[in-house]
Structure 1
Amino acid sequence: MTAEKTPDTTVKTSGETTGRKTVLITGTSSGIGLAAAVAAARAGWTTVATMRDTGKAEALLKAATESGVADLIQVKHLDVVDPESVTTCLDEVVSEHGRLDALVNNAGAAHVGTIEVGSLDAVRAAMEVNFFGVVATTRAALPHLRATRGRVVTVTSVGGVVGQPFNEAYCAAKFAVEGFMESLAPVAATVGVAVTVVEPGAVASEFVANLGLDVPALLAGAGPYAPALQAYIARTQKSFGNAQTPAEAAAPIIEALTGDRPAFRIQTSAWAREFVGTKLADTDGSAVQAMTEGWVR
């Protein structure tokens, strides 16, 4: 039996090896980000795994050790809503590794609620993490990616295509990311940088657990929307019972990093493709409204 060949991710100029390709991934303490960091290292990339709190790196480092790739993963602090943190991290990466070949925007935060009984501050906070954090990190990375003719891969969501009840702020931010990246892609291509968005559906990860939802308090504060919220929560809990694993959702990220000509938009499952397809074919919005109305009744 022949041993599996490790992909060659070294960069060569005039016949000389100048080092492995380097990828920076945000939000790697758990879930898709953690799985993507390990998978990228297994694919041979030098992987800079960033997170807001590096004290939460234990799970990632354990997974990397178990996969035999701990030597290819470097943990760094990066808070996407702190411009100085973003700049410092990218400067360190290029100084230490000599190059940046790809950025994976994965960091994000969910938000559940509806605007009449919610706060504008909560909406602004969701936009800061999920949209402006992506914009800031991409902006800082682009000069380095131009130098290597690299790639920007951004984890959005099926919620970046289909608006979902009680996810107004989250979907608004993800819609914004999709619009930003779709607009950026042809411009970035003129300087050799490829842009891809990856759209997961339900993923069995700590992303949901990290919401720390106090369901009774949410329902108590929902006023006239409490019955609809209760129906939505019940439906969502069932859908996450059949969710993808983080490793399954991360696999298309690696395809986007390593493929010759990755598509602009990639869904992580057959269900996600069908779900997104409903919206993309729904020119008057009636199909999506008919679908999502059933989630709140």
Structure 2
Amino acid sequence: MAQPNLSKIRACLFDMDGLLIDSEDLYTICTNTVLHEHGRPDLPWSIKAQLQGRPGPQAQEIFHAWAQLPITREEFYSRQTELQKEHFPKAQPLPGVLELLQRLKENGIHMALATSSHAGNFKLKSAHLPHLFSHFPDQHRILGDDKRIAPGRGKPCPDIWLLALETLNSSLIQRGETPILPSECLVFEDSVPGVESGRRAGMQVIWCPHPELLLEYKGREEEVLAGLTGEHKEGEVSAGKPGEIGDGWARLVESLERFPLIEYGIGRRKE
């Protein structure tokens, strides 16, 4: 349960891949297809865990250092793009997502999207799901190729979450309402770099990982929740501070189904 000294939540900020929709599994299908075509094994979760949540350029360096494919990177991207155009439009909401977003809306909680996916891939994954993404107006969608995020400042840096909050506060200020503090935000993430970025932004965090990712970090869950896994390696001075073990600012949930909003001061208890 959230600690009693934490701020009441006024805004919920969401990652997308593997958190709102099942696109992480689709990424795996596309990547493994190319690997198999060149006699390479499946992408292991020890590597995939490092790719999740990161901006494309950083993830690509990690992947290719492991994959050692006998083709150029351009050939790999061309083939992967073909497969993604085939599979991404099949993406579906993960369990509990639509209900959670509706409950947040009904309780007047402000919402924004902060994803490392660039605009082209975002469209492939979202165009067929208007009932989900209508909860996030265009001005409150921060994508991985947003020009306002400096190169190299994607997750696990905190910039994308702080920018998402800035868009919400801009709207509130225009209406004469009190801006939201980072501590009044609840970040929803599936990736380890994403959790660290949320903690470095000074926000409360929900970690809802893929079952295979959770196995990969078995015994290190508290490190992940505190943002202390060392995912951020450059620019430490300007990256914001992670949390501390057991500080109550982050929580692990295995599904967004029946999410306990009341424990974050959202909604009312049933009599």
Report the TM-score when normalising by structure 1: 0.28
Q: Which has the higher helix share?
A: 1
- Larger CA Rg, structure 1 vs 2: 1
Q: Return the structure number with greater relative CO, CA threshold 8 A, min gap 6.
A: 2
Report the TM-score when normalising by structure 2: 0.30
